[in-house]
Amino acid sequence: MPKIEGTERIDLYRIRVPKGFVPGMKTEGIIFVDETLEQELELESVRQVANVATLPGIVGKSLAMPDIHTGYGFPIGGVAAFDVEEGVISPGGVGYDINCGVRLLKSNLTKEEVEPKIRELIDLLYAHIPSGVGSTGKIKLSPKDEREVIKKGAIWAVEQGFGDAEDLQRIESHGCLEGADPDAISQKAYERGRAQQGTLGSGNHFLEVQYVAEVYEPEIATVMGLSKGQVTVMIHTGSRGFGHQICDDYVRVMLQAAKKYGIELPDKELACVPFRSREGQQYFSAMKGAANYAWANRQCLMHWTREVFLRLFNLSPKDLGMKVVFDVAHNIAKEEFHFINGERKRLIVHRKGATRAFPNGHPELPDCYKDIGQPVLIPGDMGRVSFVLVGLPKAMEETFGSTCHGAGRLLSRNQAIKQARGRSIKQELAERGIIVRSAGKETLAEEMPDAYKDVSNVVDVVHNAGIARKIVKLKPMGVIKG
């Protein structure tokens, strides 16, 4: 029996949310979950999948990945595509932390070399990577600088000496979306973003030192430069208060404008406007600016991470060999071409807590990955494991080239704090051999492993469903949290 009444199981890895689950659905919903993860589904997140299916101009299905949980308007883990001429754009389909994403770095160091110094390494990283609620960084942007960041993204960071041009080749969209309009962004957003460039932030954001624990596909792993026992670093953060303010500003704009365009909303959190409208294009331009801010942010954090490793291990940059494997966004809307009923169509694809997963041969992939497909980075919680996958052709057929973005929350932050009372999460992790530094006990409680689904189950669903393939498994050695 399905856990949520009215849904239907299609196969081992998908359930259907049929038209009629909520009034006005233009298409059905598809959720990628096996029977185990189905038991963790929330009724509200399923209803959100159905609500998205009511929006004008939706193309294909309203989709959700196995890390699905209730979000703002769209579920987290949600994917939806809209016709660029007839469809809408919605801030709720991108999220408040625009271009929250993940960057993976590889190194020439091994687990055995790093383990004796892991506590010192984590302390140094915590000292040099600004983190925590409202944290401010080492970079103070002038109004002119801020506009340059918005237009250039990671390119701006490289121009300032934060990393190398070579880094840009292995970033989604080369770290810059063209067409960002600084004039589409409010003064309040600029004020919030001015001191937060080069900061990790709080919540589920982290910097994690890991090692390659298992290699499933050695040939593909070799192309990525990954091998068993190798030390890697994963950085997870986004556009901080800058992107949050842009989302907030445009939700308000679109709630008013939706009435003007005669759009009936099943939930005001789905505030949207026609993509081609003036308001739609303004939001899209502002969202691009926030996405570029986030790519610059991860670029700066990577640069300081390299510097800490170089200093502690007393290595030359060549000997350290710390390079980008890939950088992916998982809160973003992008114009892409997809085949719908055999016809190539231009769509605006919303990925809200979902990762792009393009297959080999896709024209948007860097040359180094053309033969294997796009690396897909899926972090788990800080106590278990993370994965690197590659996108597969079936993703283009079924999910607009998308897959999951992480483990997905199981408990709300308040529930996690309650469950953590009387426990030392830091000590529990230390007993597993994982060194953690954070701004406070509450952060660790909110982000404890029990608060998340098991990422291994989540990744197995997308692997077995054929939309992405497991390449390597990474295990944490040390983590810094906001």
Compute the distance between CA of residue 407 and CA of residue 378 in angstroms, rounded to an integer. Answer: 8
Domain count for the chain, please give it: 1
Q: Cβ atoms within 10 A of the Cβ of 454, count?
A: 19
**Sign of the torsion angle spanned by Cα atoms 190, 194, 195, 201:** positive
Is the model's pLDDT at 204 over the cut of 90? Answer: no
Mean pLDDT of the chain: 95
Does 208 belong to an annotated binding site? yes
Does 207 belong to an annotated binding site? yes
Tens of pLDDT, residue by residue over 405-462, are 999 999 888 898 888 888 888 898 888 999 999 877 888 888 888 889 999 999 999 9
* Angle in degrees, 0-180, between the axes of helices 118-128 and 278-313, rounded to the nearest 10: 140
Dihedral, CA of residue 298, residue 294, residue 62 and residue 406, to nearest 10: 30
Is the model's pLDDT at 278 over the cut of 70? Answer: yes
Tens of pLDDT, residue by residue over 206-236, are 999 999 999 999 999 999 999 999 999 999 9
Compute the distance between CA of residue 451 and CA of residue 69 in angstroms, rounded to an integer. Answer: 12
Tens of pLDDT, residue by residue over 469-482, are 999 999 999 999 87
Check 69, 303, 405, 463 and give the catalytic one: 405
Give the pLDDT band (50/70/90) at residue 39.
Answer: very high
Does 341 belong to an annotated binding site? no
pLDDT at 452: 93
pLDDT at 1: 61
Is the pTM above the cut of 0.75? Answer: yes
CB 417 within 8 A of CB 442: yes
Average pLDDT over residues 296-314: 97
Q: Which of 59, 44, 67 is nearest to 269 (CA)?
A: 44
Compute the distance between CA of residue 12 and CA of residue 33 in angstroms, rounded to an integer. Answer: 8
**Sign of the torsion angle spanned by Cα atoms 44, 49, 54, 55:** positive
Does 236 belong to an annotated binding site? yes
CB 360 within 8 A of CB 370: yes
Amino acid at 40: E
Q: Cβ atoms within 10 A of the Cβ of 56, count?
A: 18
Active site residue 405: yes
pLDDT at 482: 73
Compute the distance between CA of residue 21 and CA of residue 322 in angstroms, rounded to an integer. Answer: 50
pLDDT at 134: 63
Does 280 belong to an annotated binding site? no
On whether residue 338 sits in a domain, the answer given is yes
CA 191 to chain centroid, in Å, comes to 24
Give me the DSSP letters along 184-227: GS-HHHHHHHTTTTT---STT-EEEEEEEEEES-HHHHHHHT--
Does 361 belong to an annotated binding site? no
On whether residue 1 sits in a domain, the answer given is no
Q: Report the CATH number that the domain containing residue 43 is assigned in CATH.
A: 3.90.1860.10
Across the strands, what pairs with 93?
none
Does 362 belong to an annotated binding site? no
Tokens of 213: 């624990």
Average pLDDT over residues 246-262: 96
Average pLDDT over residues 346-354: 98
CB 99 within 8 A of CB 332: yes
Does 380 belong to an annotated binding site? yes
pLDDT at 413: 86
pLDDT at 236: 97
Compute the distance between CA of residue 404 and CA of residue 391 in angstroms, rounded to an integer. Answer: 11
Based on the number of CB atoms within 10 Å of its own CB, is 159 exposed (0-12), middle (13-18) or buried (19 or more)?
Answer: exposed
Based on the number of CB atoms within 10 Å of its own CB, is 127 exposed (0-12), middle (13-18) or buried (19 or more)?
Answer: exposed
On the CB side of 413, CA atoms within 13 Å amount to 8
The maximal CA–CA distance of the chain, rounded, in angstroms, is: 63
Tokens of 24: 């006005």
Q: Collapse the DSSP code of 66 into the 3-class scheme (helix H, G, I; strand E, B; otherwise coil) and give the result.
A: strand
Based on the number of CB atoms within 10 Å of its own CB, is 393 exposed (0-12), middle (13-18) or buried (19 or more)?
Answer: middle
pLDDT at 136: 66
Q: CA of 30: how far to CAs of 62, 276, 331, 333, in Å? A: 6, 27, 19, 19
Q: Which of 383, 472, 473, 433 is nearest to 118 (CA)?
A: 433
Compute the distance between CA of residue 137 and CA of residue 129 in angstroms, rounded to an integer. Answer: 8
Does 303 belong to an annotated binding site? no
On whether residue 53 sits in a domain, the answer given is yes
pLDDT at 417: 87
Give me the DSSP letters along 447-459: T-GGGB--HHHHH
CB 55 within 8 A of CB 82: yes
Does 431 belong to an annotated binding site? no
Q: CA of 402: how far to CAs of 53, 54, 61, 63, in Å? A: 17, 21, 13, 10
Does 381 belong to an annotated binding site? yes
- Residues whose CB falls within 8 Å of the CB of residue 354, separated by 6 or more in sequence, listed in order: 65, 77, 78, 79, 330, 402, 403, 404, 405
On whether residue 27 sits in a domain, the answer given is yes
Is the model's pLDDT at 135 over the cut of 70? Answer: no
Average pLDDT over residues 98-112: 98
Tell me the residue range of the domain where 330 lies.
8-84+98-481
Does 465 belong to an annotated binding site? no
Across the strands, what pairs with 232?
106, 210
On whether residue 92 sits in a domain, the answer given is no
Compute the distance between CA of residue 89 and CA of residue 83 in angstroms, rounded to an integer. Answer: 10
